Structure 1
Amino acid sequence: MTGEENEYGDDNEGSDLDRRLGRRSRRLKAAGFALAGVLVLGAGGAGWAFWQLNDNITSVDINSALGDDRPAKPQVSPSAAAVPLPSGALNVLVLGSDSRSGEENAELGGGGQDSGARSDTAMVVHIDEGRTEATVVSIPRDTLVTRPSCPKESGGSTSVAYNAMFNSAYAVGGPVCAVKTVEAMTDVRMDHYIEIDFSGFAKLVDALGGVTVTTDEAIDDEDSHLTLAAGTHHLDGEQALALARTRHGIGDGSDLGRIGLQQTLVKSLLEQIASTNLLTDPAKLYKAADAITGSLTTDTGLDSLSELMSLGESLRGLSADDTTTVTMPVTTALWDRNRVVPDEPEAGELWESLK
């Protein structure tokens, strides 16, 4: 997201200092993408604050775990490699999960402590070359897939599983298996992995001052504890999380209805980030940055604040209007009406278009 050109005056008028401040502010106002809800913030201030935010991030070395048994990396064009900031196309697997244990996540998860980790939200974020347009592809958690053999942290590997639910990959093998399963079903290499947990997402929304969404129909879901009339609402963090998790109180009660709400929430979050001037409120800026970094698990290519800031700066031209949200084409499984399978050839054509 870019700062508005006139925010610091006309570029042809004013002092050199004004212009430098304008350019500096636009650089710091790094763009993020969400969701699950992902924000990349430039954090100024004392060195201890930078260290604290940097230390918040948890990472997984996915590249080492998967080795060379992956889809090939696309060739980077000379123009993309020649600029100071990266500008080539990028594919990022974004998961929303309750994987980080703790009382807050257990309460927000809608039940007691649960030793199993789940990923109910999965999105492949494809950023076009030039990084001014993006496509967010949601993968229904109820999709039946062939789950490949995945390496275990303790050694050895899991067995190949046929007609397994998509979100079981994360449950049995964490981020590494989630990435490998997505790459196996799409033949698209994931350049990065970002995971955000329940409590972090709620804290991020609160740090931004809430988020405004419009629903086309009333919602009354006992499981997510969300009741909303049809219309426009300004939600706090806990309400926004409940909206992202709602499925039984809308549409036919399937995961597809929940995905529609999540996609609405993604765009609303991008708009909220663009309209919130965190640079004028250092305490609010730190609160937002602390919320997001404290809830993140990434691959080792994004496990520092400087790397996240670099990614954010490279996305400064990306806005909600430039982001397209779609759902992987699916159809009801013939042998289980409560599950879906990729609808071919449409699903394959979608993934091929991202390559």
Structure 2
Amino acid sequence: MSAESTPGAGPPARRRRRTPHGRRRSGLKAMAWTAAAVLVLGGAGAGYVYVRLNGNLTSIDIDRLLGTDRPEKAGDGSENVLVLGSDSRSGGNRKLGGGADDGGARSDAAMIVHVHEGHRKASVVSVPRDTVVDRPECTDTEGGTHPAANGVMFNSAYATGGAACVVKTVESMTDLRMDHYLEVDFTGFRKIVDELGGVEVTTTEDIDDPDSHLELAAGTHRLDGAQALGLVRTRHGVGDGSDLGRIQIQQAFLRALVRQVKDVGLLTDPRKLYDIADTVTRTVTTDSGLGSVNSLMSFVDGLKGIGPGDMDMVTMPVRYDPAAPNRVLPWKEKARLVWEALKNDGPIPRSATADTVTGGAEGVVSAS
């Protein structure tokens, strides 16, 4: 597989003003508030609630499946968390459209969340699902071994061997140890948005994407769970139709979601807090290190010092694949700057993302 391409090759992206640095920040809070509900309820001493929520959780012993052939832990207090959105077509997800129609699953969204030493800052790197990568040999949860494959789509790693395979693929790409793993499916995402009373966003242009079952006129909308799911999955309705535009929409929606969580006052509404915590623990899959309410409580407690202003959110530097317009290739030199920055627990340099393709969806969606 060639990991390089001619700069600018592929679909022409509409030129827009780049999103200001401060507006890219938010991702970790959007992940952490879900576990925060567990933290508050557990701290309230509601033992029966603790037992029920603890029983809801599903975890995977990724450390056992991957063995010792992995990057070393940082050892400086920083942590890397792989956060995955799954497009499984099983159960209640089957009727939501898109994804793997045969009942399998793929990773629909992926973020590497690096929590810096001291847990006061974090960097989030979105990995495009359509990135062409070399997948290493991996073992699935049933103990089956899958041979290495060159030049395959990133999201096929999950379809091939599940969580452990995608973690190993990310570690091979980045040479960074993934200390934790968090996955949420379509059904859980939709229910959480509905229980929050919807999320308000503003679109600057019409969005019409039959593939994601979404039709929105330009303007301000309060999206229910199904509409929100359609928005974060749309690609043909925005930008140049690539996965990169979808990532920009997802980042914008995360900002709106974080604001909505604050507006509904979860900490002052125990019943709403419990309903959301129940949904979250039923639909989130974690590594075994986060597979109990106690471990989630400890994890979230370590993140409480990180606010939206302490976040840096970028997309892994890529180029369009000249051989396949709907695929992208890692821009090796620039991606290396990102991974080295995280390995050294430093800020991601602006030069790492300068002049990379973006998908042309900047500013199409914003928090109202």
TM > 0.5 between the two? Answer: yes
Is the 8 Å Cα contact of residues 289 and 295 (structure 2) preserved in structure 1?
yes
| Structure 1: distance between partners of 2:31 and 2:215 | 22
The Cα shift of 1:265 comes to 1.4
The Cα shift of 1:320 comes to 2.4
Counterpart of 1:345 in 2: which secondary structure? helix
The Cα shift of 1:315 comes to 1.3
Is the 8 Å Cα contact of residues 60 and 298 (structure 1) preserved in structure 2?
yes
Is the 8 Å Cα contact of residues 271 and 320 (structure 1) preserved in structure 2?
no
Considering Cα pairs closer than 8 Å and 6+ residues apart, tell me whether 1 or 2 has the greater RCO. 2
Asked if 1:175 is matched to 2:158, the reply is: no
| Structure 1: distance between partners of 2:261 and 2:135 | 36
Which residues of 2 match residues 153-168 of structure 1 at below 5 A?
A: 153-168=141-156
Q: Partner of 2:54 in structure 1?
A: 54
The one-letter code matched in structure 1 to 2:90 is S
| Structure 2: distance between partners of 1:265 and 1:177 | 28
Counterpart of 2:158 in 1: which secondary structure? helix
Is the 8 Å Cα contact of residues 78 and 119 (structure 2) preserved in structure 1?
yes
Counterpart of 1:190 in 2: which secondary structure? coil
The Cα shift of 1:114 comes to 3.3
Q: Partner of 1:222 in structure 2?
A: 210
Asked if 1:142 is matched to 2:119, the reply is: no
Asked if 1:256 is matched to 2:244, the reply is: yes
Which residues of 2 match residues 18-167 of structure 1 at below 5 A?
A: 33-34=29-30, 38-41=34-37, 42=39, 43=41, 44=44, 46-76=46-76, 88-99=77-88, 101-102=90-91, 104-110=92-98, 114-167=102-155
Asked if 1:238 is matched to 2:226, the reply is: yes
The Cα shift of 1:219 comes to 1.1
Gaps of 5+ in 2: 1-26, 344-368
Structure 1 residues 54 and 250, CA, compared in 2 at 3 Å: closer, same or farther? same
Q: Deviations over 1:5-50 (max 9, x none)?
A: xxxxxxxxxxxxxxxxxxxxxxxxxx96336995432224632221
Q: Partner of 1:347 in structure 2?
A: 335
Structure 1 residues 320 and 101, CA, compared in 2 at 3 Å: closer, same or farther? same
Gaps of 5+ in 1: 1-30, 77-87
| Structure 2: distance between partners of 1:171 and 1:111 | 11
Identical-pair percentage: 57
The Cα shift of 1:144 comes to 0.3
Is the 8 Å Cα contact of residues 320 and 328 (structure 2) preserved in structure 1?
yes
Counterpart of 1:223 in 2: which secondary structure? helix
Structure 1 residues 110 and 183, CA, compared in 2 at 3 Å: closer, same or farther? closer
Structure 1 residues 36 and 142, CA, compared in 2 at 3 Å: closer, same or farther? farther
The one-letter code matched in structure 2 to 1:56 is N
| Structure 2: distance between partners of 1:327 and 1:314 | 25
Asked if 1:267 is matched to 2:255, the reply is: yes
The Cα shift of 1:299 comes to 0.2
For this pair of structures, how many residues does the alignment match? 313
| Structure 2: distance between partners of 1:33 and 1:99 | 24
| Structure 1: distance between partners of 2:236 and 2:45 | 44
2:194 to 206, 216, 236: 206
Counterpart of 2:70 in 1: which secondary structure? coil
Q: For the aligned residues, what is the CA RMSD?
A: 2.1
TM-score by length of 1: 0.83
Q: Partner of 1:327 in structure 2?
A: 315
| Structure 2: distance between partners of 1:233 and 1:316 | 30
Is the 8 Å Cα contact of residues 192 and 276 (structure 2) preserved in structure 1?
yes
| Structure 2: distance between partners of 1:128 and 1:106 | 38
| Structure 1: distance between partners of 2:198 and 2:233 | 17
Is the 8 Å Cα contact of residues 35 and 297 (structure 2) preserved in structure 1?
no
| Structure 1: distance between partners of 2:168 and 2:109 | 16
Q: Deviations over 1:149-190 (max 9, x none)?
A: 001334351111000000000000000000000000011111
| Structure 1: distance between partners of 2:128 and 2:188 | 22
Counterpart of 2:83 in 1: which secondary structure? strand
| Structure 2: distance between partners of 1:233 and 1:291 | 24
Q: Partner of 1:190 in structure 2?
A: 178
| Structure 2: distance between partners of 1:244 and 1:263 | 9
The one-letter code matched in structure 2 to 1:46 is A
TM-score by length of 2: 0.80
The structure number with the bigger radius of gyration is: 1
